Chains A and B, each alone.
Chain A
Amino acid sequence: NAGVTQTPKFQVLKTGQSMTLQCAQDMNHNSMYWYRQDPGMGLRLIYYSASEGTTDKGEVPNGYNVSRLNKREFSLRLESAAPSQTSVYFCASIKQNQETQYFGPGTRLLVL
């Protein structure tokens, strides 16, 4: 039982490049989330998927898109990366009617 996995662990992009961050969970959880963590800002919600087939914006969605590919997988896409998107990105999941989110190990992204 791997829990929540994220790939890649680390990525360097040039401004304007695109990439997709992958997240998968094997706990049969319904809801999945993408957060970014910046110094002094805590974790901020980018997008979430309450259930398979649905996605909604969080607090800081601009510059990102998401896809809930199936119940297990939730990807985050940067179409045209900007230096302001340099951050650590965490994926999380939760079982229905519970409040404890389980987090992946994070993806560290550097945009030059």
Chain B
Amino acid sequence: DQQVKQNSPSLSVQEGRISILNCDYTNSMFDYFLWYKKYPAEGPTFLISISSIKDKNEDGRFTVFLNKSAKHLSLHIVPSQPGDSAVYFCAASAYGTSYGKLTFGQGTILTVHP
């Protein structure tokens, strides 16, 4: 039972264009969502997060959108850069009840071509 799903295993984008990574969840108890970025042979690093009381959070080139009714969130990267090439994981938690436990999606491999 995959509670957090990233249905696109990979995404290829040209440098300077927008990258949109998608994530769906099924557990209505989730109220906090995060995106992590992972380079090969390294641990995941935190990128951006959003609470369920918001529908958008922006940090520089990265924006996360949350659609609670559709149980869907997306990460927008504008403009995309070759250094953004990595695996992106969506994660969710039930804040305050989960002891910080995260449920991760399968990941999406983003490749940004120069």
Interface residues of chain A, those whose CB is within 8 Å of chain B, are: 4, 31, 33, 35, 40-45, 48, 50, 56, 58, 90, 92, 94, 98-106
Could you count the A-B residue pairs with CB atoms below 8 Å apart for me: how many are there?
Answer: 62
- Which of B44, B95, B100 is within 8 Å of A103, CB to CB? B44
Query: Can you spell out 17 A-B residue pairs with CB atoms less than 8 angstroms apart?
Result: A33-B101, A41-B106, A42-B6, A42-B105, A56-B99, A58-B101, A98-B100, A99-B34, A99-B93, A100-B46, A100-B49, A101-B46, A101-B100, A102-B46, A103-B45, A105-B41, A105-B43
- Let me know if B104 is at the binding interface, CB within 8 A: yes
A106 to B104, CA, bound (A): 16
Chain A residues touching B, majority SS: strand
- Taking the closest CB of chain B, its distance from the CB of A66, in whole angstroms, is 14
Q: Please, which residue of chain B has its CB at the minimum distance from the CB of A103? A: B43
